[in-house]
Amino acid sequence: MEDTNSLIEQRRQNLAGLNARGVNPFMNAFSPDAQCGTVRTELARWAEWNKSVEPKGEPVGLAEGTRVRLAGRITAHRDMGKSQFLDLRDVSGRIQLWIQPKVLGEEAAEIFKLLDLADFIGIEGTLFITRMGEPSVKVESFTPLGKSLRPPPGKWHGLEDTEIRYRQRYLDLIANEPVKEVFLKRSQILKEIRSFFHLRGYVEVETPMMQAIPGGAAAQPFKTFHNALGCEFYMRIALELYLKRLLVGGVDKVFEIGRNFRNEGLSRRHNPEFTMLEAYEAYGDYATMMETVESLIRHLALSVVGTLKIEHRNADGDIFKTIDLSHWRRARYKDLVREKAGDDWFQVSPEERRRRAVEDLKLSGDIAAGYEDFEVTAAVFEKLVEPTLIQPTFVTHLPKQLVPLAKISAEDPTTVEVFECCINGQEIAPGYTEQNDPIAQREALEHQAGGEQQKLDEDFLVALEHGMPPAGGIGIGIDRLCMMLLGQESIRDVILFPQLKPKA
C-alpha cells in the first residue's frame, strides 16, 4: 500500500517531531500494573460503596487516590484547553484519563501535542472520580509506546465495510466492540471444550494435517508437494482415520481440535479451512455420544453465554430466533421425513416418491435424473427437514445406504447406528457407533473409492486388522457451533481471518 494522504502525512510529521525531541515512540516494553476496564469497574464499585449510607462495612474495589500504571490505545480525545480528556483502551475495556498539560511540565506538554488518536501510550497516575461521576485517572506522567501512522476507522459508526472488516480484521476489532466480544467468547468456548473432555478422562492429541491419502470424509482436498520427500500430500479433510489408529493403540478416550481443509465452494456456512472437533470413546456407542454432545453444548451455553436460551438478533437488534438448549428432541429420520412429505411417503412406490418430490414438494432442481430412491428421500430431508430443525434435535435411524461407513442397527437392519445433531437449521454434529470390523470396513471403503486403489488407505485398514475396540465417535464443526452459540449468521463472523480472494 503506497497510498498517502494528508492524514497519514500529519502523523508522520508528528512522528518526526517526537524523534526530533529525542523521544522514541516505539518502546520495547512497558509494565502496566492494572488493566483499563478492570480499574474503571473497580473504581466505580468503590465509588458506589463510598456514597452508600452508614454502616458501610469493609471498603470494596479500588479507592480514589490509588496509584496505577496503565497502557493502551488512545481512542478518544476531548480537548478543553487547560484540561484534556482521553479514553485509554486495552483488551479489558476503557478508562478516562484527565491530563493537564500545565501540570505535566512544558516538555511533556510539547510531546503530548504530538500524540494522535490510536497511538499506544503508557501512563502513571492516581484514580479519582470526576464531578460528572466518571471513573478517571489523573495522569502524572505518560510515555509514547507505539505510534499509529494511519487514521483509525470512525468511532461513531464503527466500521461497516464488510471487505475491510474481513481483510483488516484488526480494524474491525478496534472499531466494533461486539466483534471483539464474539472472538473473546470463541476463545472461551475452545477452552471450555478442552476442560470438558479432560474432566471426562479424554486425551487431547494432534495428528497429521498433511496426508498421503485424505480420508474420513468425501470432499475435494487441497494438494501440496513436499520437496525433500519428493511426493504429493493432501491437506486433511477430516481427523477420523488417525484418531481411530489411536483407539487401536489403546488411547481409549481421545479427541482432537483442529483445522480441516476442503476445496469447495465458500458460503455463509462454508470456509475452505474450518475447525473440527472429533472425539472417540472406546466401548461407547452412538447413544453414549449423544449424551456427550448434549452435555457439552449445554455446558458451553451456560459457562460462556450464561443461558440455555440463545437469542439471535437482526441488524436492528430485534430477536428473530431463540434457540432453546434445555430441550433436546430425539427423532427418527423416517418420522421427520413423514412430517414434511406425508404419512404414506414410505408406502408408495419409488416412482411415486420421485413424482411427489418433484411436483408436490417442488424439489426438481435438487433431484438429478440418476438419483436412487434413497437419494430422493435424502433430498427431502436435506431441503425441507434440516433447515427447519432450529431447536436441538438428534436425528437417528438413518438409512444404511446414506451412511455406508457406519454400523448396522441391531433393532432395524435397514438403518445404521448414527445420529445427526441438528441445531439452528444446520448439521452441527454427526455421531456414530464406529465400524471396528476390518473386513466390513474394507468393503465399504473399496466401494467408496469406486475401484481407485490409490484412494484406499491400506495403512488404516492394517491398523483395524490389529483390532479396534467398539467405540462411539463424534465430529462437531466448531465454527458452526460458535455461530449458533454466539448468534452469528455468517461463518465469516466467527473466523478471525476468513478466506478472501487476494487483492490484485
Partner RNA sequence: GCCUCGGUAGCUCAAUGGUAGAGCAGUUGACUCUUAAUCAAUUGGUUCUAGGUUCAAGUCCUAGCCGGGGCACCA
In the shown chain, the binding pattern of residues 398 to 427 toward RNA, with x for contact by CB under 7 A and - for none, equals: -----xxx---------------------x
122 makes contact with RNA (CB under 7 A):
no
User: Contacting RNA (CB under 7 A), which of 91, 219, 439, 462?
Assistant: 219
Between residue 298 and residue 357, which ones bind RNA under the rule CB under 7 A? none
Q: Smallest distance from the beta carbon of 252 to RNA, in angstroms?
A: 22
220 makes contact with RNA (CB under 7 A):
yes
177 makes contact with RNA (CB under 7 A):
no
User: Contacting RNA (CB under 7 A), which of 124, 134, 375, 412?
Assistant: 134
Binding window for RNA (CB under 7 A); candidates: 215-223, 309-317, 452-460, 476-484 = 215-223
User: Contacting RNA (CB under 7 A), which of 186, 492, 494, 495?
Assistant: 492
Give, in order, the Cα–Cα distances in Å from 219 to each of 47, 266, 272, 353: 59, 14, 11, 28
Q: Are 324 and 309 in contact (CB under 8 A)?
A: yes
479 makes contact with RNA (CB under 7 A):
no
In the shown chain, the binding pattern of residues 372 to 401 toward RNA, with x for contact by CB under 7 A and - for none, equals: ------------------------------
User: Contacting RNA (CB under 7 A), which of 19, 52, 100, 322?
Assistant: 100
User: Contacting RNA (CB under 7 A), which of 448, 449, 455, 469?
Assistant: 448
Distance of CA 351 to the CA centre of its chain: 44
Q: Smallest distance from the beta carbon of 161 to RNA, in angstroms?
A: 4
Q: How many CB atoms neighbour CB 443 within 10 A? A: 12
456 makes contact with RNA (CB under 7 A):
no
Q: Smallest distance from the beta carbon of 228 to RNA, in angstroms?
A: 31
Q: Smallest distance from the beta carbon of 83 to RNA, in angstroms?
A: 4
Separation of alpha carbons 451 and 455, rounded Å: 9
**Amino acid code (one letter) for 454:** Q
Q: With CB under 7 A, what is the number of residues at the site for RNA?
A: 71
Q: Smallest distance from the beta carbon of 55 to RNA, in angstroms?
A: 28
Binding window for RNA (CB under 7 A); candidates: 96-104, 200-208, 253-261, 306-314 = 96-104
Q: Are 464 and 436 in contact (CB under 8 A)?
A: yes
178 makes contact with RNA (CB under 7 A):
no
Separation of alpha carbons 423 and 296, rounded Å: 14
285 makes contact with RNA (CB under 7 A):
no
Binding window for RNA (CB under 7 A); candidates: 5-13, 22-30, 189-197, 464-472 = 5-13
Separation of alpha carbons 320 and 318, rounded Å: 6
Separation of alpha carbons 85 and 98, rounded Å: 5
Binding window for RNA (CB under 7 A); candidates: 15-23, 65-73, 152-160, 460-468 = 152-160
Classify strands 223-226 and 231-235 as parallel, antiparallel or unpaired: antiparallel
Q: Are 438 and 410 in contact (CB under 8 A)?
A: no
Binding window for RNA (CB under 7 A); candidates: 25-33, 189-197, 216-224, 459-467 = 216-224
Closer to RNA by CB, 9 or 324: give it.
9
Separation of alpha carbons 354 and 375, rounded Å: 10
User: Contacting RNA (CB under 7 A), which of 55, 65, 81, 413?
Assistant: 81
Give, in order, the Cα–Cα distances in Å from 437 to each of 408, 443, 466: 12, 10, 10
Q: Smallest distance from the beta carbon of 462 to RNA, in angstroms?
A: 19
DSSP labels, 319-338: EEEEEETT--EEEEHHHHHH
DSSP labels, 379-435: HHIIIIIGGG--S-EEEEEEETTT-TTBPBPSS-TTEEEEEEEEETTEEEEEEEEB-
Three-state SS at 179 = helix
Contacts of residues 10-17 at CB distance under 8 Å and 24 or more positions apart, as own/partner, are 10/116, 11/116, 11/147, 11/148, 11/149, 11/150, 11/151, 12/149, 14/114, 14/115, 14/116, 14/147, 15/114, 15/147, 15/149, 17/114
Closer to RNA by CB, 44 or 308: give it.
44
430 makes contact with RNA (CB under 7 A):
yes
Q: Are 492 and 267 in contact (CB under 8 A)?
A: no
Closer to RNA by CB, 308 or 408: give it.
408
Measured between its terminal Cα atoms, the distance across the chain in Å is: 12
76 makes contact with RNA (CB under 7 A):
yes
Q: Smallest distance from the beta carbon of 390 to RNA, in angstroms?
A: 15
Q: Would you call the peptide bond into 55 cis, given omega within 30 degrees of 0 as the criterion?
A: yes
User: Contacting RNA (CB under 7 A), which of 22, 54, 82, 347?
Assistant: 82
Closer to RNA by CB, 293 or 304: give it.
293
155 makes contact with RNA (CB under 7 A):
yes
